[in-house]
Amino acid sequence: YHYNVANELVKYCQDKGYDTIFIRDYDIKNMLKTISPKEKVLRNGKLVYETNGRAQQRKLNRKISDVAWGGFILILTQFTAKAGINLIKSEAAFTSQKCNHCGHTAVENIKGTTFLCQACNTEKDVDLNAALNTRDDGYAMVKVPALAG
14-29: per-residue pLDDT in tens? 999 999 999 988 878 8
CA 110 distance to own-chain centroid: 14
Q: What is the pTM of this model?
A: 0.71
Residue 77, exposed/middle/buried by CB under 10 A (0-12, 13-18, 19+)? middle
- What is the rounded average pLDDT of the residues 18-45? 79
Burial class of residue 126 (count of CB atoms within 10 Å of its CB; 0-12, 13-18, 19+): middle
How far, in Å, CA of 105 to CA of 96, rounded? 9
How would you class 117 by CB atoms within 10 Å of its CB: exposed for 0-12, middle for 13-18, buried for 19 or more?
buried
| Residue range 86-138, pLDDT digits in tens | 999 887 778 888 999 898 998 888 888 899 999 999 999 999 999 999 988 88
Per-residue pLDDT tens digits for 53-76? 777 888 888 888 888 888 999 999
